[in-house]
Amino acid sequence: MAWPESPKFVPAHSPGRRNLAVLLGLPGAWCLWLGGCTHLTQAELKFLETREVRAPFEDVYDAALNAMFSLDLVIQHSDKLSGVITGQAGDHAQLAQMRAAQRRRHPVRKVTLLLTPKSPDRTQVRMKVLVNERPQVDRKLMTAVWQRIEREYLLESGPARTSGSVSAGRRSAR
């Protein structure tokens, strides 16, 4: 099955391995949706955490930074030269004073994005999520970040460069 090319977000896998990546990623996505599986393979994690954007690094970095702001994440660190953006939702100082039971009800979520230029018109984006300073796959937050980055890029690029997109590894309906 040949996947049509899309000018926006695509999974960061080579075309020859795309079907394998989908097969490996679907069980992980299904488990996350059901909420029953906690252990993911490295391939499943990479599938959930990584996207390749068909756009210049500068445009994607600006869109990612704006996405973090629009999701009400406090930007803790931003370094355009290294391509790192870290944002946090929740009060870290308050977390230190809370008991364990309160931390579960009011978790502090931290999102770190690593943007890497792959070519002049392609950028890879990798996302890591920490909940109460522990690595965790927060599917809802990750989906919100991916969607917001895509929206921010579409807002910045205008209608001339928007002809379709791929979100969370699946082709969107046209």
On whether the CB atoms of residues 115 and 61 are closer than 8 A, the answer is: yes
Q: pLDDT digits over 23-68, tens only?
A: 444 444 444 444 445 577 888 888 889 999 999 999 999 999 999 9
Query: In whole angstroms, what is the distance from residue 158 CA to residue 20 CA?
Result: 34
Q: pLDDT digits over 80-129, tens only?
A: 999 999 999 866 556 556 665 565 667 788 999 999 999 999 999 999 99
Query: In whole angstroms, what is the distance from residue 50 CA to residue 11 CA?
Result: 7
In sequence order, the 6+-apart residues with CB closer than 8 A to the CB of 117 are 56, 57, 83, 123, 124
The enclosing H or E element of 27 equals helix 18-34
Structural domains in the chain?
Answer: 50-157 (3.30.310.80)
User: Is residue 17 over pLDDT 80?
Assistant: no
